[in-house]
Every structure is written in C-alpha cells, then in structure tokens.
Amino acid sequence: MSHFDVLIVGAGHSGAQATIALRQNKFEGSVAMIGDEPELPYERPPLSKEYLSGDKPFERLLIRPATFWEERDVTMLGGRTIVAVDPGAHMVRTADGETFSYGTLIWATGGKPRRIACDGHDLRGIHTVRTRADVDAMMRELADVREVTVIGGGYIGLEAAAVLAKLGKQVTVLEALDRVLARVAGEPLSRFFEAEHRAHGVTVRTGVQVEAIEGDGSVSGVRLASGENVPAQMVIVGIGIIPSVEPLLAAGAEGGNGVLIDGQCRTSLPDIYAIGDCALHANAHAGDRMIRLESVQNANDQATTAAKTICGIEASYDAVPWFWSNQYDLKLQTVGISAGHDQCVVRGDPATRSFSVIYLAQGRVIALDCVNSVKDYVQGRKLVVEGLAIDPAALADATVPLKELSA
C-alpha cells in the first residue's frame, strides 16, 4: 500500500490549488492527488463557454502543464474513485479495491450534477455540464441537433444556451421559478438576462414544470405539466449539483448537504480537511450562515487556507466571494453574496448593456453584480468588504464613481 504525507482526493480546482499552495509554502513531504477523471486538473468554467463553443482547445484548459506537477514531485493518480475512508487507520480505498494511507487527507471532490427525476430521464441526448467528458459527449451529437432544450435557468444553463444559440441552434430555456437566476441574483439582473437571451433568439420560459422527457431511445421533446411538448433533439439539464461527500459522511464526518468544515477547512474527522464545492462552512459574508459556495474563488481560497494550516502557518477562510459569468458579449462579475438583501439598486441603464445591481441589507452594501462594468466591480469591492452604509440614491448615480462613495 502506498503512503503519502498529504493525499488529496479530487483533482479539480481546489485539489490542484491545495497542491500548488503546499509546495509554495515549502511543504516537503510526499503529495498525491487521486481523481476519478482521467485528465490532469483543468479549468471547469470554460466548459460551458469557450470550450463548448470550440474557441479554446482542451490543452488551454489545463490548470498547469504535466511538467509542473512532475517538477514539484506530485504523484498524479487519475482514473480512480475513492469509495471508502477509514479515519482511524488513515486509509482510503478505491472502487477497484486499491488502498492508500495518508498522514493528512484533503477531500476536494466537488459535486455531481443533479439528475432530473422524471419519465424519460435516461434517454439518449440528455446531458449535464460538469466534466470534459460531458461536453465532449454533447459536442459529438451537436451536428445532428436542431433544437436544444435547457432545463434550469442558472448560470451554467444560460451560458450553454448562449453558446448553442451562437452555434445556430434553436434553444429553449425552461425555468421552474418565475425568473432565471432567481437563487443567485436580484430581479433586475434576471430580467436583463432574460431579455438578452430573447434578443439572441432563445426562447426563455419561466414558471414552467417539466413533466417528462419524451422520445423513443433518443430525446424528441420535453413534455410540460401543461401537456405541451417542446420539441428537442438534445436536452441539457442544469439544475445544480449534489456534493460528493458520501464516503466521508459514511466515515462519520459531520455534514449533510456537504461536509462541515471549520475556519481552517478541517472536518470533524482527525487529519481530514475538505475544500471547494463540497465544503459546508459558516460564511462571514453570508451572515455566518452555513453554505457551500460553487466558485473558483472559493475553491482556490479554501485550498490555500487548508494548505497553509497543514504547513503550520496561521490562516483562516474569510475571503470575499467573487464570481463571473460570460454570456454572448456580456461579462458579469459579482462580488459578495446577494442572498438576504432587503434592497437592490440599479446603477446605470441596463439598456446600455453596461450597468450594476447593488444589494444592501439593513442599509449596508453586501454584494454587487456588474455587467460589462469592470470599473464598478473594482471600485465597489471596498463597499462590500467593509460593509459600508451608503445612501441608495448615491449608489444609483452612475455619474459618481463608486470609489468616491467609499473614500
């Protein structure tokens, strides 16, 4: 049985960054990454953007080239799924029965796309967007597809819709709630993106329930609760993820929707850390609510916190959340967490396609969504970091730079 001083399960964004940070902080012990995908760690955001559109080849998605890991003496163990953890013996086991022992374990497994549970859910032509393999499978079928239905109006679904519309497909987005992006953004942003998609020829339908996916072997359409059939030769399901934490929870780790971690990313099990999409944590920027964040920022910053802690360097996770999404020629940048806001201010005119939505709670700025507005994003960050109380009328006045309001 091989032993590693630090063993990282999951070779995605957070696993890769943990490894990088360990070596940056002079960790000299043995390090291995075990991942169930065959590839070296790669960036996931382009999967629904430049990779799907064909603008970026896979090689440009790699977080680091193969030589980087070799030079830092990191053992890469791809194509292996960890199914069991024995915290007492400091051991993990793969689906094939291979075992590895560790000094410290970092659990960095992300999540699996939530599947749709309706009749026809297993027909050919139904896809999710989480891995390179998912997108490659979609791309192989695309040539024979005229109509695509995207189930779920979240960021990933909307990004895929934008790319597919640009590729000339007839795209329909079906969202169960009364607006797209309802879980992550305020109404002005939702309405803006709905209008943009419509202007690009996408049919956006909100408040609709999917009853079944229809077809004979392959998808032919999506049946709504109203009985209507939306024709489609491809269906993309973008309804969120389920964190991949079963082996840790089975081993006794505290958690549920994710594995619970403290401010240093330690789980309740000895010598086991958890980071990234799978880590449930009290977030200072969400009023200390227990949340999981699904973003590159969170993956990287939690990874760095865990790595420093392992190296004996004081660190705690309190980074300000940020995120981006690209749709058509629109670049959305967000800072902070808007959930829990009691007021939102639109700054600038959405009709110009460059504006921001600023969220406040009890008079204090908690988040910004900036569309094609890098200046607001950069200058508004301080408002969020310091939770400043600013007059909403001043925030709405786009002629006054945000940096003047935080001065």
Give the residues lining the site for ligand FAD (CB under 6 A): 9-15, 34-37, 44-45, 47-48, 81-82, 108-110, 129-130, 156, 244, 276-278, 294-297, 299, 323-325
Closer residue to ligand FAD in complex, CB, 9/148:
9
* E strand residue ranges, 122-190: 126-127, 147-151, 170-175
231's tokens = 């024709």
Closer residue to ligand FAD in complex, CB, 108/184:
108
d(CA 285, CA 318): 8
Please state the closest distance from residue 391 (CB atom) to ligand FAD, in A. Answer: 31
Closer residue to ligand FAD in complex, CB, 163/345:
163
The two most distant CA atoms of the chain are separated, in Å, by 65
Closer residue to ligand FAD in complex, CB, 53/343:
53
In this structure, which amino acid lies at residue 22?
A: L
Q: Is 134 helix (H, G, I), strand (E, B) or coil?
A: helix
Single out the residue of 132, 144, 99 nearest to residue 1, CA to CA. Answer: 99
Please state the closest distance from residue 14 (CB atom) to ligand FAD, in A. Answer: 3
Please state the closest distance from residue 51 (CB atom) to ligand FAD, in A. Answer: 9
Please state the closest distance from residue 94 (CB atom) to ligand FAD, in A. Answer: 8
* N-terminal to C-terminal alpha carbon distance within the chain: 59
d(CA 185, CA 272): 34
Q: Which residue is nearest to ligand FAD (CB)?
A: 12
- Give the phi and the psi of residue 325 in degrees, each rounded to 5: -150, 135
Closer residue to ligand FAD in complex, CB, 68/324:
324
Please state the closest distance from residue 22 (CB atom) to ligand FAD, in A. Answer: 15
Closer residue to ligand FAD in complex, CB, 78/401:
78
Q: Is 55 exposed, middle or buried (0-12, 13-18, 19+ CB in 10 A)?
A: exposed
Closer residue to ligand FAD in complex, CB, 94/172:
94
191's tokens = 């309405």
Single out the residue of 275, 272, 284, 263 nearest to residue 303, CA to CA. Answer: 275
Q: Residues with Cβ < 8 Å from 303, sequence gap 6 or more?
A: 13, 14, 15, 16, 17, 18, 20, 21, 106, 108, 275, 276
Please state the closest distance from residue 275 (CB atom) to ligand FAD, in A. Answer: 7
DSSP string, 351-393: GGT-EEEEEEETTEEEEEEEES-HHHHHHHHHHHHTT-B--HH
323's tokens = 């995120």
Please state the closest distance from residue 107 (CB atom) to ligand FAD, in A. Answer: 9
Closer residue to ligand FAD in complex, CB, 221/276:
276
Q: Which sign does the torsion angle of CA 312, 12, 121, 325 carry?
A: positive
Please state the closest distance from residue 346 (CB atom) to ligand FAD, in A. Answer: 23
